[in-house]
Chains A and B, each alone.
Chain A
Amino acid sequence: MAQTGKHALIFGASGISGWSIMNQTLQYPTSTALGRVTGLSNRPFDKKDAFLPDDERLRIVSGIDLT
């Protein structure tokens, strides 16, 4: 996994906004703009559920309960 560049950490990644931010950070403003993208969610959710490109920069971690 690429460990250089900026890292986007997205809370609420399984929702309509968070999912789109994950999707867009892999391609906007360029396809290499961000070095790492991590989506966090409370509810069970993994890369297979996300219907996103199989990009090595993307990681999804669920079970993050911030309450």
Chain B
Amino acid sequence: MFNKLFLSLPVEIVNRYLAYIQTGDFQSLRKVNPEYILQTAIKSISALSLNLEVVILQTGGKGYGLEFPNEVKIQPPLHEKLSRIPLPWRENIFYYDQYDLLQRLSKGKKWTFSEIRPDGIVGFGPGSNVMNMGFGIAFSLTLYREIYGKGAEVPFPSRLHGYHTRHTDKFQNILAQMEIFFALNRDKCPNGSSFNCGDGEPVTWAQVWPGICSYFGLSGV
């Protein structure tokens, strides 16, 4: 069924994965990401392709206020119908700006968009950047093993509440397939629809830290 549809039309799908630039403060993060990157991307594509069908915007947990656990009341389950977080914290969430921009740009156009909100993503990447936790953890545990030897106890390198807080990690392919599914099934996803993405039950660092440490021959405590 799919093949027939695809072969019949030379159409464009855009999986616009969020190209995210980390900057030093909230306001420049807000300006750099939505206003320049997304707008430039969409306007360039629209100029070049008359057949743009769909834009998939990947956002994440910031929209639920996860960066402000002390200031914003975070009441799980964090579902898609929740309101945006209150002012003044709302001003710091560039995902909202990106969503609003797509809503404005898609008005009266043939293309539609959906937003996908994953939490932590687990998987492989061919490069590395500052958001790669795996690299830092592996580097640090390798050194730890070298210095303290096999079976040494490694305390979790952060706060206790972080050790027990639940988060909804997912494997990268689950997220990718979900985004592809939304791109190919626009009849099931209205313009501006938002979806969380998860993979099984929420997890805590308390559940995974001992396993990660044992991979390096260490004992996580």
- Shortest distance between the CB of B40 and any CB in chain A (Å): 4
- Shortest distance between the CB of B125 and any CB in chain A (Å): 4
In this complex, the member of A9, A14, A23 whose beta carbon has the largest number of chain B beta carbons within 10 angstroms is A9
Taking A4-B7, A29-B2, A67-B36 as contacts, is the C-beta distance between A14 and B126 under 8 angstroms?
A: yes
- Shortest distance between the CB of A39 and any CB in chain B (Å): 9
Partner of B15, one of A8, A30, A67: A8
Taking A9-B14, A9-B45, A29-B184 as contacts, is the C-beta distance between A19 and B124 under 8 angstroms?
A: yes
Rounded to whole angstroms, the CA-CA distance of A67 and B37 in the bound complex is 5
CB <8 Å contact, A67 and B21: yes
Partner of B173, one of A5, A20, A30: A20
Chain A interface size band reads: 35 or more
Rounded to whole angstroms, the CA-CA distance of A3 and B37 in the bound complex is 27
Which parts of A23-49 form the interface with B (CB within 8 Å)? 23-25, 28-30, 32-35, 42-43, 45, 49
CB <8 Å contact, A12 and B17: yes
Taking A5-B7, A30-B2 as contacts, is the C-beta distance between A14 and B127 under 8 angstroms?
A: yes
Q: Does B12 contact A (CB under 8 A)?
A: yes
CB <8 Å contact, A16 and B3: no
CB <8 Å contact, B19 and A17: no
Taking A17-B58, A29-B181 as contacts, is the C-beta distance between A49 and B126 under 8 angstroms?
A: yes
Partner of B12, one of A7, A12, A24, A33: A7
Q: Which residue of B lies closest to A9 (CB)?
A: B14
Q: Does A66 contact B (CB under 8 A)?
A: yes
Taking A3-B10, A11-B16, A12-B17 as contacts, is the C-beta distance between A20 and B126 under 8 angstroms?
A: no
CB <8 Å contact, B18 and A12: yes
Chain A contact residues, CB within 8 Å of chain B: 3-21, 23-25, 28-30, 32-35, 42-43, 45, 49-51, 66-67
7 residue pairs A–B, Cβ–Cβ below 8 Å: A7-B13, A8-B180, A11-B41, A17-B118, A21-B176, A24-B176, A67-B21
